[in-house]
Structures are given as structure tokens and as C-alpha cells.
Chain A
Amino acid sequence: MWFLCVFYHRLLDYRRPEVEALAELFGAFGGGGGNGGGEGGGGGGWEANPRKWSLEWKLPENHHVDSPFHFVSLPSEEIARNIANRSILVKGIYELWGQGINYEELEKAVREFPDERKLPYLTPESTFRIVVDSFGKVISFEEQNERIQGLSYIPFQGRVDLKNPEHKFWLIETDDYGANNGLPPVVQRTVFFGREVGAADRKLLPTYQLKSRKYLGPTAMDAEMAFLMANQGLAQKGKLVYDPFVGTGSILVAAAHFGAMTMGADIDIRVVRDGRGPDCNVWSNFKQYNLPSPISLLRADNNLPPWRPGLKEVFDAIICDPPYGVRAGGRKSGGRKLLKGAVGPYTVPEEKRFDHIPSTAPYSLAECVHDLLDLSARMLVMGGRLVFFYPVVREDGVTNNTQFPEHPCFTLIASCEQILSFRYSRILLTMVKTGLYTAEIEESAKKQHLEFKENHLKWLEDGNLRSAVFSPAESQMASLKLERDSKPKYRGKYV
């Protein structure tokens, strides 16, 4: 069934993947689902062949892909409603009753829409309201009322209830803009009329906003993004979500909100165990929202994890924001001077061992990502998801095609760019575990680990993202000034 899906106009790359992830969650692709709590649901239809993770999408005629208006095919209204209600970026999913380039065409289309699909929602016992909405323009209150009066050809028989109607109808208008005003190049004016099936609950955002979070760190994940990550990871009741770079727990808070059990680790014990006091730590973040605390928090090094040999396929999702060395540098154990070759191997004397704080060394992005992929390949269940941010450097304000990390156990199903500055973006990668963690893969990972250890310095120099982001920009400023006038006004992915 085709539905009109209207998005909030932001985080453009994240919109369709979120809907597709939630479609998987609610059983659109067959297999375990329903409301996500099905017995033995596991990876959701894992046994079904062939595996698919994407939906069919269409654009309205003459609309650019960045337009907020999309048509999506979903198996049922119930699934559409579940997806919309749990999403963050879907402004509404509607059963389209008609569309047109003007109101005459719209009327014709709505009249032609089959009566048996319209009448059940126009009964005398029902309550309804009509919302007039627009994209990229303002419609005054008087004009809105005029438009509503103009719909009198639709036989509404129910009672109007503005606060809590059973049925909500939307009349949405957008004009033709070209590429001005920072809006997408929608070339043609369009008017839509439809019945609302579901909509995002944006009230989540002010509730969870970082502004009022008890315990924050410099890289705490913004609430909206944390919810998007939790949706990409299919966080739900009965599932176990792990964050190997937990920090203040901002990502786990979102997963816990959706009912998942959570677990986290961090190499910095002060962040995880102490926080800033008894009322200002990771536990207080969960208590603040009445969410169950993580079932486990530990201090561990992702480079030398403490898992028992043979342990595998434990987590349903691993959702994290690894340190890429721009705002927070990663660390790994092993003694920084030792790895640099500045000192020979040493033993910590017995009497000093008790509260010895081990020296940690810088952790390059390449090694960090390698370890994350290895950990995930081993510890995720089949069909489980790895969701993480990957930084990319932009050249002259353009993100060129980047090579994303790959691993034989994983299939990349989504990559969503968020432009952070002229110099760099971060890309949210969603990978599904589609291959078993074999002995060969384990061996090859061990070899790579040793390679990183032996060539520690070389990896640090090559992977220096921080200087690329923060170095002085004299040469770039000159070319910027020349280009400023010719740059298009369309904001694209800066939204």
C-alpha cells in the first residue's frame, strides 16, 4: 500500500533509513516483529530468503529527493502507524486521498478516490479535524479557514474536535521554488490531501534534551541523534544493547527509553564510575528519566577486551560513537612510552600494584575501528546491528566518495551524513551481521592487532584527523571569498 510520508526538513540522509529500520522492527519484511516483542524474533525474519532491508520509495512528480514529501510502500496501515509513531523525523504518514498542482486538480482527485475508502472515516459518530500545513511558505489563519471551507465537497458528517479527534485530515501545500530560500529545488507547486495514519512524537526531544541532562560530558550524544541511532539499532524490549564507548551513557539512555536492556564500557574510569559526584553520574542520568539503569557498566579497553574466550553472539545491537581524536582522543592500554619504544618492557613493582593507574597510549582511528568491527563481529547475534559514527574529511567543502570500513561478517545497509563543518562530517553507518565469526576471521584479527602494536607510531601519524579539522585555514579562506557569490543558496545536507 502506498502512503504519503512527510518528513521534518532536517538530517536529510537519516530520514529514509530511519523509516526502513523501523519497518524492519515492526515486521514489514516478514519474520519476527509485530510490536517488536515476538517470541524468538531474534534478527527479524533471519531465516527468510532473500534478505532485504529497504523499502520501495517514489517521489511526487518534479520533486527533488531532498523534498520532505515522499511516497513509501508498506504492507499495512498498522505497520505504517507503528513506524510513524516511533520515528523522530517523520512529520506524518498519510493515506493520500488526492494530490494536484492546484486546488481544482486536488478536488478532482479526491472525488475520484473510492467512496468505500473515504466513508468509514466520515461517519456521523466520529470526531475529526482538518489541519492546513505548508512547506516553505506561511498560510495565514484566514487563508487556512478559506482552504478548509474549500473542502466542502467532501461529505464530512462527524463532529469537529480540535483537541483529540479520532481522525485527522491534512491539507498540505508547497510552492515551486527553484533552489532559492535554502529549500530543496521543488520545481512544481503541489497540494496534497490525506488522512493521518501516524506521526512522530517530537515531545520526546524537549524531555530528553541535553540542556537538562544531569550528567554531561564533552561528547555526550545529542538527544535527537541518540534516538535515531537507537532506531537504526532496533532497540526494543527484550534486546541487549552494548556501547563500548559509553562515556556519560547518552546513547544508552535512548536505547533504554525504547525498552532495551543496556550495557556499557569505557576505558576512563572517572567518567563511568565516579562522574562528578553521587548525584551526577551515569546512574543519575537514567534515574532522571525513570529508566532502568544499565545492567552492567565496566572499565575495559576495547583494544584488549576482558571477555572470556568462547563467548560470542551475546548482544543484539552495538551502538556507539567511537573517539576519532577530534574532540576526544581514544586511549588503549599498553603503556604509552612502551609502545613508542621510549622505554623497554617494565614490571610494576609489587608494592605499587594496588592502586596503580596503568599508562594508556593514544588510539588511532584505524585501530579503533578495526577493534570495534572485530568485537562486533564476535559479540553480535546473527542479524544483529552495529551502528556507529565514522568521521570523514571534506575537501573544499565537498564530501568526496569515501571508503567505509568493511568486514566479511557485515553488510552495510545505511550510511547517513551529518555535515559538521566546512572541513569534516560524520557518517552514521548501519551494518547488519550476516556472516559467522569463524576461526579464520579471529586469526586474521589477531594478526592485525599485532601489526597495529608493532607499528604504533606509524598509525598515529597517518590517522591524525584532529589537525585536518583544526589547522589554520589561510589558503582555504582565499578561495572561499571568491566562491561565496557563486555558491548556490540551497542548503542541502547542512540542514
Chain B
Amino acid sequence: MRLLTHNMLSSNIRGVVNGFPLGIEAEKVVEREVELSAEFLRGVFPKIEWGALVAGARALGHPDLLPGEADASMLASDDFLRRFHRALLQLHVEEGALVCPETGRRFPINKGIPNMLLHEDEV
């Protein structure tokens, strides 16, 4: 699971008011190379919740990778693009879990795939 995915997910358990962002329990993190596409990064930047991305990078062991805040003008910098790209697409949680911030309910991540299916009583 990449941080791009983490940035899109929330705990939608019935009754939960604010299920985003999910906490990350990272048991196994790997880094995989992905080709950098500046066009894609510029397109996806406005959709990203920056705070959640920074928290995610920290949870994966890279607290200094990203600046605390960011705006679109920084996309002109190659260095920023590379950091953004690395945090968003190259870091992977292979094993671990996503944690609902309100209920503590764990959504397991196995083989890189988060299981977001709700139980019958959460629906």
C-alpha cells in the first residue's frame, strides 16, 4: 500500500464522524522504484491532503522527507518533485494495518493490499 492510497482512504464505519486520516502500523516497509511522471504529480497534487501525507511518511520511517506544508508553486522544483514522488509512490507498506482514528479498529494490510471491507455490524 502506497501513501497515495492511504491519502484516499478513510474509516467509513457507521457512526464514525471523522475516519480520516487512518493511522498506520507499518510492520514491513519496502521501497520500489516507480518511473517519475511530472505531469501525473502535478495533476494529483491538488487532491492530496498534505498533512496526512507528511504523517504517513513519518509513520513509514521518513520524518524529514517532506516539508510540513506545501503549495503548488513548489512543484516547479525538481527536488520537491522527487521527494513528493518518493513519498507518494515509492514507499510501500507490505505488512501492517490502517487504524481508525476514532474506534481503533484495524484494517489489515497483507502483501501490500489493505482490506477495507466492513464487518456486518459496521455497515
The CA-CA distance from A89 to B68 in the complex, in Å, is 51
Q: Which of A37, A311, A348 contacts B120 (CB 8 A)?
A: A348
Chain B residues 104-123 with CB under 8 Å of chain A are 110-121, 123
Q: Which residues on B sit within 8 Å (CB–CB) of A261?
A: 37, 40
Q: Which residues on B sit within 8 Å (CB–CB) of A314?
A: 8, 44, 47
Q: Are A307 and B110 in contact (CB under 8 A)?
A: no
Q: Are A237 and B123 in contact (CB under 8 A)?
A: no
The CA-CA distance from A269 to B112 in the complex, in Å, is 12
The CA-CA distance from A305 to B49 in the complex, in Å, is 19
Q: Are B113 and A299 in contact (CB under 8 A)?
A: yes
The contact sample of 8 A-B pairs, CB cut-off 8 A, is A238-B40, A240-B40, A263-B5, A267-B117, A296-B1, A304-B118, A346-B121, A359-B120
Interface of A is mostly: loop
B residues contacting the other copy or chain, number (CB 8 A): 35
Q: Which residues on B sit within 8 Å (CB–CB) of A272?
A: 113
In the complex, A175 has a CB within 8 A of chain B: no
A86 CB → nearest B CB, Å: 19
Q: Are B9 and A238 in contact (CB under 8 A)?
A: no
Q: Are B121 and A347 in contact (CB under 8 A)?
A: yes
The CA-CA distance from A295 to B89 in the complex, in Å, is 7
Q: Which residues on B sit within 8 Å (CB–CB) of A308?
A: 8-10, 19-21, 49
The CA-CA distance from A274 to B112 in the complex, in Å, is 11
Q: Are A300 and B117 in contact (CB under 8 A)?
A: yes
Q: Which residues on A sit within 8 Å (CB–CB) of B118?
A: 301, 304, 333, 358
Q: Are B10 and A299 in contact (CB under 8 A)?
A: no
Q: Are A273 and B119 in contact (CB under 8 A)?
A: no
Q: Which residues on A sit within 8 Å (CB–CB) of B120?
A: 333-335, 338, 346, 348, 358-359
The CA-CA distance from A342 to B39 in the complex, in Å, is 52
Q: Which residues on B sit within 8 Å (CB–CB) of A263?
A: 5
A342-378 CB contact bits vs B (8 Å, 1 = yes)?
Answer: 0001111000010010110000000000000000000
Nearest CB to that of A338 among chain B residues? B120
In the complex, B4 has a CB within 8 A of chain A: yes
Q: Which residues on A sit within 8 Å (CB–CB) of B89?
A: 295
In the complex, B2 has a CB within 8 A of chain A: yes
Q: Are B123 and A335 in contact (CB under 8 A)?
A: yes
Chain B interface residues toward A at CB < 8 A: 1-2, 4-5, 8-12, 19-21, 34-35, 37, 39-40, 43-44, 47, 49, 89, 110-121, 123
Q: Which residues on B sit within 8 Å (CB–CB) of A358?
A: 117-120
Q: Which of B9, B47, B123 contacts A306 (CB 8 A)?
A: B9
Q: Are A295 and B4 in contact (CB under 8 A)?
A: yes
Most chain A CB within 10 A, of B2, B39, B120, is at B120
Q: Which residues on A sit within 8 Å (CB–CB) of B4?
A: 295-296
Known contacts A273-B113, A297-B113; A306/B119 CB under 8 A = no
Q: Which residues on A sit within 8 Å (CB–CB) of B2?
A: 295-296
Nearest CB to that of A275 among chain B residues? B111
In the complex, A280 has a CB within 8 A of chain B: no
B18 CB → nearest A CB, Å: 9
In the complex, A309 has a CB within 8 A of chain B: yes
Q: Are A298 and B44 in contact (CB under 8 A)?
A: no
Q: Which 7 A-B pairs give the minimum distances between C-beta atoms?
A: A335-B120, A308-B10, A306-B116, A238-B39, A308-B20, A296-B5, A273-B113
In the complex, A34 has a CB within 8 A of chain B: no
The CA-CA distance from A267 to B2 in the complex, in Å, is 19
Q: Are B8 and A238 in contact (CB under 8 A)?
A: no
Q: Are B119 and A348 in contact (CB under 8 A)?
A: yes
Q: Which residues on A sit within 8 Å (CB–CB) of B112?
A: 297
Q: Are A39 and B39 in contact (CB under 8 A)?
A: yes
Nearest CB to that of B6 among chain A residues? A296
Q: Are B8 and A353 in contact (CB under 8 A)?
A: no
Known contacts A304-B12, A308-B8, A308-B20; A299/B121 CB under 8 A = no
Nearest CB to that of B112 among chain A residues? A297
The CA-CA distance from A80 to B111 in the complex, in Å, is 44
Q: Are A307 and B9 in contact (CB under 8 A)?
A: yes
Q: Which of B10, B35, B111 contacts A307 (CB 8 A)?
A: B10
